Chain A
Amino acid sequence: MIDFLSLFLSHGLLLLAAWRLLWRGDLDDDKGPLDTRKQPKKWDATDA
């Protein structure tokens, strides 16, 4: 029971960390965006 609690907690957090890293543009380049999901897409840009 204790082992499972420890396994679920640590592995759950590991997966959450990996999931968050997935969307971080600054993982590969320090100047990259903090969250690639929040980047405006080309077709979202409104014409002036």
Chain B
Amino acid sequence: MRDLFFVAFLGAMLLLGMRRPFLMVLGYVYVDIVSPQHLSYYLLNSVPISLIFFLGAVIGWLMFDRKQVLTFGPRQGAMLLLLIYCYFSTENADFPLEATEKWNWVWKVLVFAIFLPLTITTRLRIEALVTTMILSASCIIIAAGIKTAASGGGYGVLNLMSDSNTGLYESSTLACVAVSLIPFILYLRRNSTIFPPDWRVSLFCGALCFACLLIPVGTEARTGLICIAALGVMMLRAAKRPFLYIFAAAFLGLASLPFLPESFTKRMDTMNEVQADESASTRLAVWRWTIDYVGIHPMGGGFDSYRGNSFRYEAKTSSKFDPNAPAAHEPGSTIVIVDQGRAFHSAYFEMLGEQGWPGLGIWLFIHVSGLLRMEILLRRYRNRAPEDGHWIAGLATALQQANIIYLIGAAFIGVAFLSFAYMLIAMQIALDAYARRFERERTRKPFFSAKVVPA
């Protein structure tokens, strides 16, 4: 049943894409985010649907799209440079087989991110991309949100419709992405022309925002809670009545405490005892190893270089006694942990360990320059009239907030090559180019201007 559903949906998207080729681009975005192959049981597993939509998008763009507004920005150049750099680091990787496996999907992410801004040339296309990203992710978020509200979820327990632990089906990644979507949902609720604002749109957007906030609760991902806090602080900047906002946020936060599952509050409590939490201590040990590693290999060790790590460190057991989970050691005692081949658990250290200082530098340039460009757009357009590009400020704010949330979440998850993040970058590039064209059109004086003759 589920297989037939996906086949029918993808068939419909392909048919619509034949009429309007840009829909093929949206189809690829959908396939990349949802990965229907992971949700299908047998029908789609052997069909290269990503390839079909990608070829459709490229051919459609080459044959039918306008090329007058073609732009290739510095960040696309940086992504191209990163792509080439990753190729060479894969050629010289510490673990060639594993590195090649990762390279096989990383290059596709980067190529699509470079290509995407070329296709997003109008305001409606930008809006269509945001809408597609939100609705695609909502497929997982709505289900996870309802399950959380019904059962409370749990760490590694919440069923995200697929057993796959990749992309958005990894709980911490989903929590980070879900929170980063909230600014976009709030933007579309006011500015969408595909679904013009009315009570149904407001209801759906409100419910979806609530579901997004429930994801960190359901998955018990600590990263998600940090992302929510960061979003709360950033939204304070845009609040018209900051004191009312702080009061309302504090009230809602306190009021929600009794409804949170006990397992969630316990897990969040572990953030106060970093030394007692094995997960956090292991991360710190891996990060220390990475810094030592790039001291010897400044150009990085290629994809999956973490497989070469091994370390031994001392950790303290929790000082709190939990009768439900009796520990093998005395509370507060020191234990020795020996481990090896542990993943980076941080996009920053992932870039550093795999691509070295140059790779990390390029990656940071791509993200930080995007944040700065969005800040420039935000300041330029926020006081404009609605018909004079005010929406650009709204979208720039959402893109900036989403990117910051991603960068904060990325400190604790190895998502340096998350395709969703590169779509954000592509959208930033497209919005930037669109704003430049918009400004050019606005300031362009007509060649044959009518002469005003004084009476």
Contact = CB atoms under 8 A, between A and B. Distances in A.
Q: Do A and B come from one complex?
A: yes
Interface string B1-28: 0100100010011001001101100100
Nearest to B437: A30
A18 B23 contact: yes
Given A10-B135, A13-B135, A21 B2 contact: no
B88 interface: no
Interface of A is mostly: helix
A4 B3 CA distance: 12
B20 A9 contact: no
A29 B16 contact: no
A29 B135 CA distance: 24
B123 A17 contact: no
Given A2-B147, A6-B146, A15-B12, A28 B122 contact: yes
Interface string B187-198: 000000111000
Interface residues of A, number: 25
B250 interface: no
Interface of B is mostly: helix
B20 A27 contact: yes
Interface residues of B, number: 37
Contacts of A4: 2
Given A2-B143, A2-B147, A30-B122, A22 B135 contact: no
B265 to A, nearest CB: 25
B16 A17 contact: no
Contact of A27 (B2, B12, B22, B140): B22
Interface in A1-37: 2-7, 9-11, 13-15, 17-22, 24, 26-30, 34
Contact of A28 (B12, B65, B143, B150): B65
Given A3-B143, A29-B66, A17 B122 contact: no
Contacts of B122: 26-30
- Report the 9 A-B pairs with minimum CB-CB distance, sorted nearest first: A6-B143, A10-B139, A6-B142, A10-B138, A14-B135, A30-B122, A2-B146, A18-B16, A26-B124
Interface of A: 2-7, 9-11, 13-15, 17-22, 24, 26-30, 34
6 contacts: A4-B2, A6-B161, A7-B139, A11-B139, A18-B13, A34-B193
